[in-house]
Structure 1
């Protein structure tokens, strides 16, 4: 009698092609959700002890960068999740479970490193605007108008469109990343994607200068806009609508002080 051998569970095509990726994707999503949730808890907790005021709020650069990284993790990880999960899926069959988590974490560290570099520039901008408002409180409305105008013009410009389309099409990126050398590849992938993300979203962060860097409502609104721009099928059109709205706010900010709470001379309670 001929013996019929059943295929090994390890080699079963469903496990190799479906079950393993589903498990890997669940791990990646869980990691991202956990990091983003913890970052929001930390950011909200810190904001409750601080007011909305101009400048760096008395923080030295190292402390500011720690808070900035937490803010970026809270605001940006929901929109970067599809790219990170796609990358994790791509490396799933090449690594063990613990290694996949480490490589996904390395990707996220590279991504946040790009935003940390921008945080240094943000600190300088906040220090400058804070000094100007301290010297002349009426300058706040002009700084606010300039910030809204800058964000609006960038939203409507070609560089925004290039970076946004790059962020909305991760597969083309990942095919290029596959040719990178293994050493620190995941960190470099995250850094490269983070640089495009900074190019896409830095102007949206500028509006936090007039609205207040520690304004939780403003942070949540900007984070929602970023996610919709990157994930919605109408994201490109939404970016242009936001640009027009910012230009309108730039005009109104000259006459309405409530639009620039982050540039008022005295601390505004949360």
Structure 2
């Protein structure tokens, strides 16, 4: 029994690595959110590095769960190819490529957050400081949910087998390219949803959990496309309501 378990772990180690990254990222998020964080009034280079690290870990924890289906498919295809001594994609490096795409986003949104803080649009606790900014982000995100580029990227993320059929690459660099390419589509699908944290609070654990569930529903739920559009309409309504109530 123990030998079978060990064999299973070895056979599917890239998938278990992804699960370990997810668990470690969420452990970090729960840990850091329970700490008494000092509000950042003046940013130093160290603050930027720490914030980038937090965004990178947060993106790993939030985005890897909805990418597990495609990782499972790659793992399954690779094991079949290995059994035939055929070339295969290195599953672990697909994860590396996927995370590289999101780490690039983490760097961009860290710099954006620093700039917004400099413009006094964010509070020292890293949430929106002005109603106009809040309404603008909600409105843009809501409208984006209906745009063709959002729907195209979402359709791609919802069809992992189609992506692998058309974009399969072998070897380490091929797997990195596949992961990065898939990550770019996921970026196109979810980048504005992640930016909502600038409104509700980068350190808000309830909103981090909520957005993770929203992303998973969009990608994995049978009616994910419809859910995406309903969410967009609700965000537009919320933006207009908040603006009119001031």
TM-score by length of structure 2 reads 0.82
Question: Quick one: which of 181, 193, 201 aligns to 1:212?
Answer: 201
Cα pair 1:54 1:133 within 8 Å, conserved: no
Corresponding residue for residue 3 of structure 2: none
Corresponding residue for residue 177 of structure 1: 167
Cα pair 1:152 1:242 within 8 Å, conserved: yes
Cα pair 2:62 2:212 within 8 Å, conserved: yes
Unaligned runs of 5+ in 2: 1-7, 84-88
Corresponding residue for residue 10 of structure 1: none
Corresponding residue for residue 75 of structure 2: 88
Cα pair 2:97 2:179 within 8 Å, conserved: yes
| SS in structure 2 of the partner of residue 82 of structure 1 | helix
Structure-1 separation of matches of 2:81 and 2:122: 58
Number of equivalent positions:
231
Moved over 4 A (4+): 22-29, 50-59, 134-139
Higher relative contact order (CA 8 A, sep 6+): 1
TM-score by length of structure 1 reads 0.75
Corresponding residue for residue 60 of structure 1: 47
Cα pair 1:24 1:88 within 8 Å, conserved: no
Structure-2 separation of matches of 1:211 and 1:164: 24
Between Structure 1 and Structure 2, whose CA radius of gyration is higher? 1
Corresponding residue for residue 4 of structure 2: none
Structure-1 separation of matches of 2:158 and 2:121: 41
Corresponding residue for residue 59 of structure 2: 72
Structure-1 separation of matches of 2:57 and 2:67: 15
Corresponding residue for residue 188 of structure 1: 177
Listed as ranges, the matches of 1:1-270 within 5 Å are 27-49=13-35, 60-95=47-82, 103-133=90-120, 140-178=130-168, 180=169, 182-254=171-243
Relative distance call for 1:135 and 1:95 in structure 2 (3 A) is: closer
1:194-235 Cα shifts (integer Å, max 9, x gaps): 000000000101111110111110010000000000001100
Structure-2 separation of matches of 1:210 and 1:139: 8
Pairwise CA distance, 1:48: 2.1
Pairwise CA distance, 1:105: 2.2
Cα pair 2:121 2:130 within 8 Å, conserved: no
Structure-2 separation of matches of 1:53 and 1:254: 28
Pairwise CA distance, 1:103: 2.7
